[in-house]
Structure 1
Amino acid sequence: MDYIRLTRQFTFETAHALLNYDGPCKNIHGHSYKLQVTIIGQPITDISDPKYGMVLDFGDLKKIVNTFIVEPLDHSLILRKGTSPELLTILQQLHHKVVTTSYQPTCEHMLLDFKNTLTRHLPATVKLYSLRLWETENSFAEWYTSDNN
């Protein structure tokens, strides 16, 4: 049976700041992120299955990515643990959506976090093939399973 790759794109608006960075990205700033998720698997062969012929319903992939990545991050501010506790307190008191991470919230680290999250939540019948995260219109990071075997 042949393997097929499926890809879906997602967009979300997120701000971040890079703790202890030596350039302008140390300041809070935002991006219109674009995430491309590609999975690989074999189409369902059971003709009695309502998903017959599909590797995974695009709607199911959309639900997984939206639930575990897009919705938690959209219109949020991502800050690394260790950021000024006073700043975090003020932002939370003002009811801002703040996400703290154990990692520096670079495009590269976010991609690795997304890989780990999606790997835990994808059905066993498919595998994560690749991820591409655009931080700006001209800059993106990529992760491929084949690079990590």
Structure 2
Amino acid sequence: MSNIRITKQFSFETGHALYGYDGKCKNVHGHSYKLSVTVIGQPISDSSNVKFGMVIDFGDLKKIVKEEIVDVFDHATVFNKNTPHVELAKELSDRGHHVILVDYQPTSEMMIIDFAKKIMKHLPDNIKLHSLKLQETETSFAEWYAEDN
């Protein structure tokens, strides 16, 4: 049977700031992120299976990505917890804002690595994460490919 790639796209709004950066992104700002998740596997060949002919049910993939990424990062502000931004994060959190502290600089490159790890641990054994594309703006994005890692 052939391997088939399945892609599902997601959107979420997230703010961040890059501590120590020498440009405008050192300021707190946000993006309308678009995340494309591509998995690879063989369509289910058992005709008695309700998901016969599917590599993975789009709904099952959506559940994983929404729970691990979209519902967590949407309308949140992300800061590197190993910087003085932790003080700003605490202030915002105390005022009722949704803040996420991570162990990395919250660039698209580092976020996509984090997302890949989160998604992979929830995929069935017969399905592999093929690639991710995290679009930060209309013209700027990061890509992660399993074959590169």
Q: TM-score, normalised by structure 2?
A: 0.96
Q: Secondary structure at the match of 2:49?
A: coil
Instruction: State the Cα distance separating 1:88 from its structure 2 match.
Output: 2.1
Number of equivalent positions: 148
Partner of 1:37: 37
Structure 2 gaps of 5+ residues are: none
CA separation of 1:85/1:43 partners in 2, compared to 1, >3 Å: closer, same or farther? closer
Asked if residue 124 in structure 1 is aligned to residue 125 in structure 2, the reply is yes
Partner of 1:95: 96
Partner of 2:135: 134
- In 1, distance between residues paired with 2:2 and 2:47? 17
Q: Secondary structure at the match of 2:121?
A: helix
- In 2, distance between residues paired with 1:129 and 1:86? 37
Q: TM-score, normalised by structure 1?
A: 0.96
Structure 1 gaps of 5+ residues are: none
Runs of 4+ in 1 over 6 A off after TM superposition: none
Q: Write the mapping of 1:19-38 to structure 2, written as runs, cut at 5 A.
A: 19-38=19-38
Instruction: State the Cα distance separating 1:85 from its structure 2 match.
Output: 4.0
Q: Write the mapping of 1:55-134 to structure 2, written as runs, cut at 5 A.
A: 55-81=55-81, 82-134=83-135
Instruction: State the Cα distance separating 1:69 from its structure 2 match.
Output: 0.4
Contact 2:79–2:85 at 8 Å: present in 1 too? no
